[in-house]
Copies of this chain bind each other. A is one copy, B any other.
Amino acid sequence: MTINQNTDQVLAALAKQTVELPSWAFGNSGTRFKVFGTPGTPRDPFEKLSDAAQVHRYTGITPRVSLHIPWDLVDDFTELAARAAREGVTISVINSNLFQDDDYKFGSLTHADPAVRAKAVAHHVACLEVMRAVGSKELKIWLPDGTNYPGQDSLRARQDRLAESLAQIYTATRGDETILLEYKFFEPAFYHTDVPDWGTSLLHCLALGPRAKVCLDTGHHAPGTNIEFIVMQLLRQGRLGAFDFNSRFYADDDLMVGAADPFQLFRIMFEIVSQGALDPSSGVNFMLDQCHNIEPKIQGQIRSVMNIQEATARALLVDLAALGEAQREGDVLTANGLLMEAYSTDVRPLLAGLRESMGLAPDPLAAFKASGYEARVAATRVGGIQAGWGA
């Protein structure tokens, strides 16, 4: 069994990899049962950006931050963008919110009442304005719409209304702006969701036009779903727009990526790498979307980025030539063995080297912990209301 011996190529690919951070990962989150607070949690978008910048400072591959509107609304987005720049990051994808307004109890873009749909569309137009104020080119729509009980609403009518609402939003975009439509198997709706699977998301994107793409979140699938197959299929269609990393054992657990099934993460990254989608020019935006309910949040983000890097490095180490030959010959065990050979390799030294070549500490987590940042913000961020999913 062999692995890819071209270390330079592997390092070059790793050097180009980037991961986008979500501003909301730095605020408090939890379950319907309890949200635990932590000393030092940011109170506003500015402080979230500072925390996100820490992750970039120590990993070197997270130069972008996603915002969530209205959670990250500020009076002056120019000032926020400037703060980001000073911290060494940029503001990237803008995420809309369709689940926290009382009007959306029975739906937003799919609501039976045209006035509610219009409100939801208008919210996206406002998000587009934020994008233009901060220099973002991507609008991410996760549709929480759905129903809890059979018969509650017409599945078909909702789909038609959704198509109409999305078309209005798409019309409001400019030629260099992209819509990312995320799908989710269930939650917060428990009987049906209006965009439950990649197929539905893709159909809407195809109907909208070339600047609408699918966002795949690893936690948004039925048990047993082969996610790397979906990655392959969406790349084959040229419509994988974004990838939300996290991990799950049961439902949409939103645990740290790589924590539940590192082998699955490796298989996903292998599909991405082998289809050329790792390269930033591929147009796929790789992001974290997680909840650090009980672990320190900045540390949790750093660990997640490291997990992605390790999975990527292993994927890059697969000996593609040998693999192709074994596949053509129907040599099942050799083909599988070549994949496992790369997976079994300890890539931490390689990544430590990469970091040092970038002027970073070889162990980002240890370096961040040693920096004293956590104690500093815990001491200074006193008073005010800690940010969470509600603010």
> A45 at the A/B interface (Cβ < 8 Å)?
no
Q: Is A344 an interface residue (CB 8 A)?
A: yes
Closest partner residue, chain B, to A341 (CB atom)? B348
Question: Is A376's beta carbon under 8 Å from chain B?
Answer: no
Interface status of A373 (Cβ within 8 A of chain B): no
Would you call A170 an interface residue if the criterion is a C-beta within 8 Å of the partner chain's C-beta atoms? no
A274 / chain B contacts, CB cutoff of 8 Å: 154, 156
Measured CA separation A261–B338 after assembly (Å): 16
Interface size, A (range) = 35 or more
Is B188 a contact partner of A31 (Cβ separation < 8 A)?
A: yes
Question: Any chain B CB within 8 A of the CB of A112?
Answer: yes
If A186-B224, A191-B249, A236-B156 touch, does A34 touch B99 (CB 8 Å cutoff)? yes
Are A224 and B226 in contact, CB atoms less than 8 angstroms apart? no
Interface of A with B (CB < 8 Å)?
A: 29-34, 36-37, 99-100, 102, 105-106, 112, 144, 148-157, 159-160, 185-188, 190-192, 196-200, 202-203, 221-226, 228-229, 232-233, 235-237, 248-251, 253, 255-256, 259-264, 267, 271, 274-275, 293-296, 299-300, 303, 310, 318, 323-324, 327-328, 330, 332-333, 335-340, 343-346, 348, 365, 389
The reply to whether B105 and A36 contact each other, CB–CB distance below 8 Å, is yes
Which B residues touch A33, using CB under 8 A? Answer: 99-100, 144, 187-188, 389
